[in-house]
Amino acid sequence: MRARKNPVAGTWNSAALFAFFLFLCVLAPVSAGAADLKGSKDSPLLPRYEGSSIVTYSQKEYDTLVVPLGKTVYQDEKYKFTKSETFEGRVTRIMYLAPAGRSALEVFRNYEQVLKNKGYVPLFSCAKGECGPYDSFAETLYGRAQAYPVPGDEGTKNQQFLAARLPRPEGDVVVTVCAFDNTFWGSEVKMEKNRAYCRVDIVELKGMQSKMVVVKADEMTEKIRGTGRIALYSLLFDTDKAELRAESKPTLAEIAKMLKAQPRMRLLVVGHTDSVGEREYNMGLSKRRAESVVKSLVSGYGIAANRLVPAGVGMLAPVATNQTEEGRAKNRRVELVEF
């Protein structure tokens, strides 16, 4: 029997990762052979399945991407992933409409083979109901704060998902691919019935370019004396890490300068996160980050340990919405609170 050539193999375009998307956007119906969405393009890191067309597209130079590493389960009155990881970097999100007559499984297998050939290391994969009940996997990742059961098993038919990572000296690439057969009509998702779609998300990992102005010691003192606290955005950490980055040293030096000039001052060092990820995990992460700041001030700048108390509140005290990247960036901070 003659093997079909891999329609995905070829030149690779743009950068970021791929994942499932069923309820995120309202899509206009796309007819067979339709042109790509205006302004869209393939990623240079991953080609399209031959004959596919782009129906949704976005790219941001710096954004976050949640990558499922486990199925969804119903817990605490909502669906959540048993395990996931958030990555930051240049993110590209593309939804393709596959050619008529092609199944989600065939499209998915082609992408799977290309990733393997390129040296990507699998992180997680699932198929159909293995991903979780109903449409909870897609809804939890892309669409709704509260996923809900859908009668029947329409949401699990031929759903295929894969997350993979490519190590590179210039920065790793993480990719998610989700292919599915659209077997039902819906008022919220205007897709062609009995056609295969494939969501591809790609993230090129890189550190955020720090453009935060370092607050001087005198300014910190004035702010704390006036309001009892100050929020600092130039104490920097990598995603899901508690170790301070080297760019944090100027701010640490200013905090130490303030404390040495104010020998009676005692501070709570409070870590804050955005709402991405599990609440308990973020609570722990924010506490570890606060402890890292305290440790650096004590060991590197000679500040007495009894003048600093680390604490972490995770996502519990936002100063902006967590529904946008700009808001989430404001919520990721360290605060100094006098006590």
Domain annotation for the chain: domains and CATH numbers: 13-205 (no CATH), 217-338 (3.30.1330.60)
Residue 231 has pLDDT above 90, yes or no: yes
pLDDT of res. 249: 93
Whole-prediction pTM: 0.56
- C-alpha R_g of the chain: 23
- pLDDT band at residue 228, thresholds of 50, 70 and 90? very high
**Least confident window among 122-126, 154-158, 301-305, 335-339:** 154-158
pLDDT of res. 149: 37
User: Locate tokens 């389960």: which residue?
Assistant: 73
Q: Which two tokens stand for residue 324?
A: 């946008």
Residue 16 has pLDDT above 50, yes or no: no
pLDDT of res. 332: 92
Number of other residues whose CB lies within 10 A of the CB of residue 35: 9
Task: Tell me 281's DSSP state.
Answer: H
User: Whole-number mean pLDDT of the chain?
Assistant: 82
pLDDT tens-digit map of 33-73: 468 999 999 999 999 999 999 999 999 988 889 999 999 99
310 three-class SS: strand
**Residues 21/25/28/30 CA torsion (nearest 10 deg):** -20
**What is the largest distance, in Å, between two alpha-carbon atoms of the chain?**
83
Q: Are 334 and 314 in contact (CB under 8 A)?
A: no
Classify strands 229-232 and 195-205 as parallel, antiparallel or unpaired.
Answer: unpaired
- pLDDT band at residue 183, thresholds of 50, 70 and 90? low
Which of 306, 312, 302 has its CA nearest to residue 335?
312
Q: How far apart are CA 25 and CA 78, in angstroms?
A: 21
Residue 209 has pLDDT above 90, yes or no: no
pLDDT tens-digit map of 74-130: 888 888 899 998 888 899 999 999 999 999 999 999 999 999 999 999 999 999 889
Could you please report the per-residue DSSP string of 154-216?
Answer: GGGTT-EEEEEEE--TT--EEEEEEEEEE-S--SS----TTEEEEEEEEEEE------PPPPP
Which of 107, 99, 165, 135 has its CA nearest to residue 21?
135
Q: Which two tokens stand for residue 173?
A: 């690439």
**Residues 41/45/51/56 CA torsion (nearest 10 deg):** -40
**Residues 24/25/29/30 CA torsion (nearest 10 deg):** -90
Task: Tell me the CB-side half-sphere exposure of residue 24, using CA atoms within 13 A.
Answer: 17
